[in-house]
Amino acid sequence: MSLQGKRIVVGLGGGIAAFKAVELVRELMRRGAEVRVVMTEAATHFVGPITFAGLTGKPAVTDLWAEDYAGEVHVELGDWADAIVIAPATMNLMARASSGQANDAVLATLACARGDVFFAPAMHARMWSHPAMQSNIQTLRARGAVVLGPVTGPLANGEIGEGRMMEPEDIAEAIESHLVHSDDLSGSRILITAGPTHEDLDPVRYLGNRSSGRMGYAIASRAQHRGAEVTIVSGPVHLPVPSGAEVVRVRSAEEMHAAVMSRFEHFDVVIMAAAVADYRPERRATRKIKKGKSLKLELVRNPDILADVGAKRARRPSVLVGFALETENLEQSARDKLERKAADLIVANEASAGLGGDTNRATLVDAATATPLPEMTKRALADQVLDRVRTLLNNSSQRSRLETEHEAPN
């Protein structure tokens, strides 16, 4: 019930993604929020107001002139809401919002908003990339609105492109992060490794693993939303980079090692979420290896990036986080890794679920505690990890302050 006590207005524009707003309302309420719904007339052609009345226990506002609303409902809702989220936010609705129009229930409520405003765009990729759309986005952001998405995926007409509305759970998590965790990592610089590494056998083949990179990118996205300055050292993945984050793309474990070791001293936090290959071929063939009855490979150990950062750090990073994928003795294996590699926190994952899934089940292990977590989305786990990072940063700052006071001359 992480949004307990929060009051959120969900506003719907007229787009095919309006059906997702039903699940968004349910998800926000599941997290404890009280929700009211406002709809444009066009939105009612895609999903009926009675659906939201059944979910929320309150009639959906569709008409500023309806006789059953006492007073000025848009003013009342603007005062009432801690946040207003427009999902789906169509090109037309966002254009009208950017120009300050207030000629329907959604826009009039937006004009009276006292709380945070979020837009979850949903439209065809060509509409999203249109110069007028991008100009309107810049205007809305300049006024303080938070734009969530869109993401790349299947569009209404079957094409693949950037314009798909974020999934309801991701929208709810972003709103929660903003309302509950807003800027709690402001001023922190965080380096995150993500994805697999590919160890080339020849020009067309490589050794790799099933890591999707979604865990590392989820941590980067949540850290960015919470005010941190984020750099991602990323293995080969096909994921959107969180807005505002820097990405350093690498391929092999040696390349990732070089990128991290040349940068880590400039960061407050290093989070090693990448699935780095333990071994690489001793020799890389310059030409494609021809098919034969069998193939013998000589492998050599790759550098241990987490251990090398742990061994060489002085005052920075203040917090070092590693990940461990284990099949047995989860807590003890994580604690051994914590000590051997001089880390501050190990996120121990159960390997039974494999790599690349949408959810994780993990145990957070530090010097004093081991906290088993239930299965949850990667974005939810990202916030759990960052909550612990924030605590470790605060503890580190307090220790530094006490050491400075102790060293100061009398």
Quick one: which of 353, 260, 54 has its CA closest to 361?
353
Provide the annotated active-site residues: 209
On the question of pLDDT at 403 being above 60, the answer is no
CATH number of 7-181: 3.40.50.1950
Summarised one tens digit per residue, pLDDT across range 349-368 is: 877 655 556 778 899 999 99
For residue 409, the model assigns a pLDDT of 59
Instruction: Give the pLDDT confidence score for residue 141 in this predicted structure.
Output: 86
Contacts (Cβ under 8 Å, ≥6 apart) of 14? 40, 41, 42, 43, 45, 46, 90, 92, 93
Nearby residues of 34 by Cβ (< 8 Å), 6 or more positions away: 6, 7, 8
Tell me what pLDDT residue 220 has. Answer: 94
Same fold, 7-181 and 189-278+298-402: yes
Task: Name the average pLDDT for the chain.
Answer: 89
Residue 244's pLDDT is 83
User: Which of 64-78, 210-224, 296-310 bottoms out in mean pLDDT, i.e. has the lowest?
Assistant: 64-78
Question: If we measure between CA atoms, which residue out of 219, 222, 147, 146 comes closest to residue 184?
Answer: 222
DSSP assignment string, 353-379: G-SS-SEE-EEEE-SS-EEE--SEEHH
Q: Is the pLDDT of residue 410 over 70?
A: no
Is CATH 3.40.630.30 the classification given to domain 189-278+298-402?
no
Q: What is the DSSP letter of 101?
A: -
Averaged over 62-68, what is the pLDDT? 79
Q: Edge-to-edge, what's the strand order for the sheet holding 146-147?
A: 34-39, 7-12, 83-89, 116-121, 146-147
DSSP label at 71? S
Q: 37 in helix, strand or coil?
A: strand
Q: Where are the domains of the chain?
A: 7-181, 189-278+298-402
Per-residue pLDDT band for 402 (boundaries 50, 70, 90) equals very low
pLDDT per residue as tens digits for the range 133-188: 999 998 988 888 888 888 888 888 888 888 999 999 989 988 887 787 667 898 99
The model's pTM: 0.65
List Cβ neighbours of 310 (8 Å cut-off, separation of 6 or more): 320, 341, 342, 343
Percent of the chain with pLDDT over 90: 65
Q: For residues 30-58, give the mean pLDDT.
A: 94
Integer distance in angstroms from the first to the last C-alpha of the chain?
A: 50
